[in-house]
Copies of this chain bind each other. A is one copy, B any other.
Amino acid sequence: MLPREPFSGLLTDLYELTMAAGYVQNRFNARATFELFVRHLPPRRNYLVAAGLEQAIDFLENVRFSSEDVSYLRALPFFRHVRSEFFDYLSRFQFTGDVWALPEGTIFFPGEPLLRVTAPIAEAQLVETSLLSIVHFQTLIASKAARVTTAAAGRPVVEFGSRRAHGVEAGVLAARAAFVGGCQGTSNTFAGRRFGIPVYGTQAHSWIMAHEDEAEAFRDFLDVFPEQSTLLVDTYDVRAAMEKIIALGRKPAGVRLDSGDILADSKWVRKRLDQAGWKEVQIFASGELDEDRIEVLLRSSAQIDAFGVGTALSTSSDSPNVGVIYKLVEVGLGDTVRSAAKFSQEKITYPGRKQVFRFAGKDGKVSGDVIGLDTESFPGGEPLLVPVMRDGKQIEATDEEAPLARIQRVRNRCLADRARMTERILVLRVAEPPFPVRYSKQLEQLHDQVRQTVAKTARIG
């Protein structure tokens, strides 16, 4: 289910392989730079959170073509005229490029590269599809988690969405990305073991239903988990269930509301618990929650101490994809380096290797970003992209760091980045005006220059 070494090189769109065959067979030995970025913000998002870099690097270090992979391709009718040279190339394939990236947890905006790959062109091309899907998914979920935890206004949010994720792997990686974006933990136990993320769990309706008597179901659970039980009280009737628990006389750690009128029930339950002298028993709410419902509940003074958010988080349900793209920005052939850009209608890209510079105002809050060339520098502009791979090897091996420390470092970066954003950008509604990002003068000049060259070659040919 989770990526295991080695990754198959076939985890890519076929056209990456046809192009790679073309580059190899035509001896097109260019060194190319591609940038991975987002063209537009998804609806209702004011910013995005970079995530998935750890898995992307893992993929780049471990992608290989097995002999079965190569035989499969060789047998495709489409590859009939491709010479052996290409299949030999695949058998020896390893990613040998350099990668710069935004550290995971960094808040970023459209046009800003999350990842910049410089490698022999066929290599850079072959890794495109998997790089995109790896970075796409976790960025999507971390960005959603930032919204959900913003709405929860300091109350813990636990990611509960594995069951409706897009498969088993997506469930595990959603748990990781949700933690990066600010969640307190997850119910996905594998993610707990693999990444050190705190895990949380209560009980399901089936536990109550399996017992003939609801009170017995509560008591039997408290027998096994005397200290940290959170009891589910909405299987039949919330108030009747609460009376049974109080009558048992054994204080649970919390109770969970999962359906019905959570606002009214939370208020009633809080009062009843306090009356019973159980002020420290927490109320946990779940059941088709998202940032909007959480905001409304809290604005209405719901008595909720923590939230479990499932499907909305694990699928980013209101906006289940981000328009990530991976575009050629520079081609070096021998001694000449040429900047590249695309000028299809509505799909224009900027040429050249880029860096993102972030500026802060006197209040310490971020005031704006400039996307410039990587050769530029700006006083007070903090460059965000850092080198992460050189010659196909990870630069700073973090293998010795404990998984929990590593992922907490990433989560803390995200929380720190959020703290530096102004309120206007952090709220759930669309920011007006949006966060200011501009291209540097040098980049605009390069863009115009490439456009003129392209206009010449494209029309006149």
Name A302-327 residues within 8 Å CB distance of B: 311, 315-317, 320-324, 326-327
Are A129 and B162 in touch, CB under 8 angstroms? yes
**Which B residues lie within 8 Å of A12 (CB)?**
162, 188-190
Distance (whole angstroms) from the CB of A67 to the closest CB of chain B: 12
Distance (whole angstroms) from the CB of A88 to the closest CB of chain B: 15
Are B342 and A235 in touch, CB under 8 angstroms? yes
**Which B residues lie within 8 Å of A13 (CB)?**
160, 162-163, 187-189, 201
- Contact string against B for A residues 7-51, beta-carbon threshold 8 Å, 1 for contact and 0 otherwise: 110111111111101110110101010100000000000000000
**Which B residues lie within 8 Å of A169 (CB)?**
1, 167-170
**Which B residues lie within 8 Å of A378 (CB)?**
none
**Which B residues lie within 8 Å of A214 (CB)?**
457-458, 461
Bound together, the chains give a CA A236 to CA B453 distance in angstroms of 12
A244 at the interface (CB under 8 A from B): yes
Are A212 and B457 in touch, CB under 8 angstroms? yes
**Which B residues lie within 8 Å of A59 (CB)?**
168
Pick the most buried of A7, A201, A224, A345: most chain B CB atoms within 10 A of its CB. A224
Are A166 and B165 in touch, CB under 8 angstroms? yes
A3 at the interface (CB under 8 A from B): yes
A335 at the interface (CB under 8 A from B): no
Name A403-460 residues within 8 Å CB distance of B: 454-455, 457-459
Distance (whole angstroms) from the CB of A439 to the closest CB of chain B: 19
**Which B residues lie within 8 Å of A138 (CB)?**
167
Name A197-228 residues within 8 Å CB distance of B: 199-207, 209-210, 212-215, 220-221, 223-228
Are A136 and B121 in touch, CB under 8 angstroms? no
- Contact string against B for A residues 167-204, beta-carbon threshold 8 Å, 1 for contact and 0 otherwise: 11111111000000000000111101100000111111
**Which B residues lie within 8 Å of A244 (CB)?**
461
**Which B residues lie within 8 Å of A23 (CB)?**
210
Bound together, the chains give a CA A276 to CA B309 distance in angstroms of 59
Bound together, the chains give a CA A22 to CA B169 distance in angstroms of 27
Given A80-B227, A129-B188, A317-B320, 20 more contacts at CB 8 Å? A1-B2, A12-B162, A13-B160, A15-B187, A16-B201, A22-B223, A34-B206, A81-B225, A129-B162, A136-B164, A166-B167, A168-B169, A209-B342, A214-B457, A214-B458, A235-B342, A237-B459, A243-B461, A259-B346, A259-B347
Which 6 pairs between the two chains have the least Cβ-Cβ distance? A14-B201, A236-B458, A320-B320, A15-B201, A166-B166, A169-B169
What residues make up the interface of A, taking CB atoms closer than 8 Å to B? 1-4, 7-8, 10-19, 21-23, 25-26, 28, 30, 32, 34, 59, 68-69, 72-73, 76-78, 80-82, 121, 125, 128-130, 132-134, 136-138, 140, 160, 162-174, 187-190, 192-193, 199-207, 209-210, 212-215, 220-221, 223-228, 234-237, 240-241, 243-244, 247, 258-261, 311, 315-317, 320-324, 326-328, 331, 338, 340-347, 454-455, 457-459, 461
List 21 A-B residue pairs with CB atoms under 8 Å apart, sorted by A's residue number: A11-B172, A11-B189, A13-B189, A13-B201, A15-B204, A18-B225, A22-B225, A28-B210, A73-B189, A78-B228, A81-B227, A133-B170, A163-B326, A168-B169, A206-B327, A213-B461, A214-B457, A215-B461, A236-B454, A260-B345, A311-B323
